[in-house]
Amino acid sequence: MIEPPSPTLQLRIDEDALAENWCALNEVSGSARAGAAVKADCYGLGADRCVPVLRDAGCRDFFVAHWSEVAGVVAHVPAAQVAVLHGPISAAECEYAQATGAVPVINSVIQAELWAANGGGACHLMVDTGINRLGIRPEEADHPAIRMLDVSVLMSHLADADVDGAMNAQQLAAFENVRAHIPHRETSLSNSAGIGLGDDYRFDLTRPGLALYGGVPRRELASKIRQVAYPRAAILQTRWIEAGEAVGYNATFRATERMRIGVVSLGYADGILRAWGGAALAHEGRCLPILGKVSMDMIVLDLADAADIGEGDWVNLPYRLPDAAQQTGLSQYELLTLLGNRFART
């Protein structure tokens, strides 16, 4: 079968920036070592591309959410370095962990009992210190099923680390208290934002995710994190419209004068939601405002400042994550993980 032509969407991954981000976060982690959250296909940037970069930079601890994500990571690193945050909820998942060597994160008494009943072995244990998602409650620390676990890493997860609220200290105190009651080899509390809270929050292992891929969750990290993802799209068509003519669904933009516009092959099916309306793309430093509503596969641009641009030329979507989040109202996490599979990752 003939190979399809090159996509009209590209997502450049700056692998040097990714490696440097991990090294910076590892250094800021002080006496702790930095792991890497590589769930959701490395936050949408591609495990096959990103995991080897993180591995070669020195990372030895990788975290995914689903068992279905294990294979894509263990293609590049030993299974014993991969932990599954959602833990096992069936005998089949326990058997898969035993067969592959991936490490389950136990999140409940029921999961602890299930793990023991299906062979057991080394695991991590999540304690819920206030976010009320996964994890045992602190008062369950003395449950016989929990006491029987062979816990490699005792973990919890911060709910409010991106701001300076009282909850951070409350969770830290709760974690300090519970770790005295559960035998374990290492401890881990901090995500990307938690690393910025200081030494008290770093323990033995930090678990950055967002910041690896260019997100800046706290001001303390802003000077250390480089942009990693650079999306761009090709111009499909340029045309002139007259004063009074409208653009896009519901005619939310109407020209006040004759103007030249361009259509790019990018839209909300690619993760560029209608929240981008009113923002702008760029070409060689020139601003190309978005006109009207973002469509599923197309965005219309004002080409007033780019008279020379034509079909097949590439325009860039400004994607420094803190800036894009402020402009769109989307979180930095959403901006990364929404990027669709029609982008050719380069």
* Count: domains in the chain: 2
Q: Percentage of residues in the chain with pLDDT exceeding 90?
A: 98
Sorted by sequence, the CB contacts under 8 Å of residue 7 that are 6+ apart come out as: 342, 343, 344
Residue 324 covered by a domain: no
Residue 306 corresponds to which amino acid?
A: A
Domain at 66, CATH number: 3.20.20.10
> Are residue 209 and residue 300 in the same domain, yes or no?
no
Q: What is the mean pLDDT of residues 87-91?
A: 98
Q: What is the pLDDT of residue 69?
A: 98
Q: Percentage of residues in the chain with pLDDT exceeding 70?
A: 100
Which neighbouring-strand residues pair with 288? 281
pLDDT above 90 for 198: yes
> Are residue 175 and residue 282 in the same domain, yes or no?
no
Pairwise CA distance, residues 57 & 63, whole Å: 16
Pairwise CA distance, residues 322 & 18, whole Å: 16
> Are residue 172 and residue 276 in the same domain, yes or no?
no
| Active-site residue, selected from the candidate residues 43, 249, 293, 319 | 249
Q: Which residue has the tokens 């058997």?
A: 95
> Are residue 40 and residue 130 in the same domain, yes or no?
yes
Reply yes or no on whether 293 is catalytic: no
Reported pTM: 0.95
> Are residue 182 and residue 83 in the same domain, yes or no?
yes
Q: How confident is the model at residue 219 (pLDDT cuts 50, 70, 90)?
A: very high
Reply yes or no on whether 39 is catalytic: yes
Q: What is the mean pLDDT of residues 156-185?
A: 96
User: Which domain range does residue 203 map to?
Assistant: 14-221
| Active-site residue, selected from the candidate residues 39, 43, 201, 293 | 39
CA-nearest of 7, 11, 9 to 214 is 11
> Are residue 77 and residue 131 in the same domain, yes or no?
yes
> Are residue 44 and residue 102 in the same domain, yes or no?
yes
Domain at 273, CATH number: 2.40.37.10
Residue 233 corresponds to which amino acid?
A: A
> Are residue 121 and residue 141 in the same domain, yes or no?
yes
Alpha-carbon dihedral of residues 192, 194, 196, 202, nearest 10 degrees? -110
> Are residue 242 and residue 111 in the same domain, yes or no?
no
Q: How confident is the model at residue 1 (pLDDT cuts 50, 70, 90)?
A: confident
Q: What is the pLDDT of residue 138?
A: 96
pLDDT above 90 for 105: yes
